[in-house]
Amino acid sequence: MLKRDSEGQVWNELFRELKREWKAVWLERFDDKVVAEGAAVKDYSLLSLGRGTVVVATRKYRVPDFHEIVEE
């Protein structure tokens, strides 16, 4: 039973780190008004998002989904 508790703690910590990075992506993004896009300003390794990855756009673009990242 101790093993399950420690695994649960590991998953909880990983989830917290993912959530922390997810919030940072949206708070720290660079909004380029000329091309109407918002891009990541640095690498977010846990989220598999590199610097310059478009995270929001006003034209046809699929925004990264937090739940899909967690499932990977």
Identify the pLDDT of residue 20: 92
Q: Are 55 and 40 in contact (CB under 8 A)?
A: yes
Q: Are 39 and 55 in contact (CB under 8 A)?
A: yes
Mean predicted confidence (pLDDT) in 36-64: 81
C-alpha–C-alpha distance, residues 19 and 53, integer Å: 18
- Higher-confidence position of 52 and 58: 52
Q: How does residue 9 score in pLDDT terms, banded at 50, 70 and 90? A: confident
Mean predicted confidence (pLDDT) in 44-59: 83
| Number of domains composing the chain | 1
Q: Are 54 and 37 in contact (CB under 8 A)?
A: yes
CA-angle at 46, arms to 43 and 49, nearest 5°: 40
Domain that holds residue 43: 2-71
The model's pTM is 0.63
Identify the pLDDT of residue 2: 43
